[in-house]
């Protein structure tokens, strides 16, 4: 049986930028009683606090919950006296300037500069820079309608990849691209997780809604970690229920 259950956040545990609902919160709390739980997302730590941690019930075992913002390039854990950052692989100032300059040019070249925006389109998350085409606070209906066939994001990727050879550009949420150092992705986060917890990657399972080539969850499956491709939050709940049944029986 698996010892660690890892999840993506947006589109897997919650709708984009939304808090987990009461049913999901209860299921995750129950899961912490039988396994170690990790959440790996492109969002930064404040997003984890508002979407996930601040909505868990009091009976959740926080000592068995690991939070990995910015695609696993950061790790936070609760050691009894609150949440502590264990590591953060932040960009250098030169790396940051290179990425931001490339993004500014790519937005114009892709013809996306006049799209509506709800909040900032480019967010520096320290160890990851994220482009959100409609801004960080865009409503869900606008996000879902913007790029359903991935064509706009693939165009941005095609523009950025040749000018950012030392970095990786992946699709994130429904309107976003995540940029990290080459080789720094969710698979990297899973390996760091294994080192820190002592749990082998063969004893882990990962769930995400972007487990497809170019998606920011795909690297985990490509690294050989058992993975479940999730369609939506509702399906995640049913899979957690099945895991709880199996682990409780064991």
8 is in an annotated binding site: yes
Please check if 125 is assigned to a binding site.
yes
Rounded distance, CA 11 to CA 128, Å? Answer: 19
10 counts as catalytic: yes
**CA 134 centroid distance within chain:** 18
10 annotated as ligand-binding: yes
SS (H, E, C) 27-93: HHHHHCCCCEEEEECCCCHHHHHHHCHHHCCCCCCHHHEEEEHHHHCEEEEECCCCEEEEEECCCCH
Is 194 annotated to bind ligand? no
Structure tokens at 173: 């949420």
Beta strand pairing call for 83-88 and 122-124: unpaired
What is the DSSP-derived secondary structure letter of residue 15?
S
| Nearest-angstrom CA–CA distance, 238 and 249 | 17
Whether 44 has a binding-site annotation, put simply, is no
Marked catalytic residue, from 8, 44, 185, 217: 8
Q: What is the SS3 assignment for 17?
A: coil
Beta bridge partners of 168: 180
Of residues 10, 147, 185, 217, which has the active-site annotation? Answer: 10
CA dist list (Å): 18 to 6, 9, 21, 188: 19, 10, 9, 26
Give the residue numbers of the binding site for Mg(2+): 8, 10, 209
Active-site residues, by number, are 8, 10
Binding-site residue numbers for alpha-D-mannose 1-phosphate are: 125, 176, 178
């Amino acid at each position: 049986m698996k010892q660690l259950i890892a999840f993506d956040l947006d589109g897997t545990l919650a709708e984009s930028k939304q808090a987990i609902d009461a049913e999901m919160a209860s299921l995750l709390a129950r899961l912490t009683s039988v396994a170690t739980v990790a959440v790996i997302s492109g969002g930064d730590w404040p997003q984890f606090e508002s979407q996930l941690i601040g909505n868990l019930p009091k009976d959740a075992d926080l000592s068995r919950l690991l939070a990995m913002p910015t695609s696993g390039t950061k790790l936070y854990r609760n050691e009894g006296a609150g949440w502590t950052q264990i590591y953060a692989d932040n960009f250098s100032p030169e790396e940051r300037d290179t990425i931001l300059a490339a993004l500014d040019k790519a937005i114009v070249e892709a013809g996306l500069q006049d799209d509506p925006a709800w909040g900032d389109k480019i967010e520096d998350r320290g160890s990851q820079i994220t482009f959100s085409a409609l801004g960080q606070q865009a409503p869900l209906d606008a996000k879902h309608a913007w790029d359903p066939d991935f064509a706009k994001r693939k165009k941005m990727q095609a523009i950025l990849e040749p000018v950012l050879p030392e970095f990786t550009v992946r699709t994130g949420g429904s309107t976003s691209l995540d940029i990290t150092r080459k080789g720094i992705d969710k698979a990297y986060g899973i390996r760091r997780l294994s080192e820190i917890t002592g749990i082998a990657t063969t004893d882990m399972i990962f769930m995400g809604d972007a487990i497809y080539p170019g998606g920011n969850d795909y690297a985990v499956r490509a690294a050989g970690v058992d993975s479940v491709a999730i369609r939506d939050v509702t399906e995640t709940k049913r899979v957690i229920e099945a895991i709880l049944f199996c682990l409780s029986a064991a």
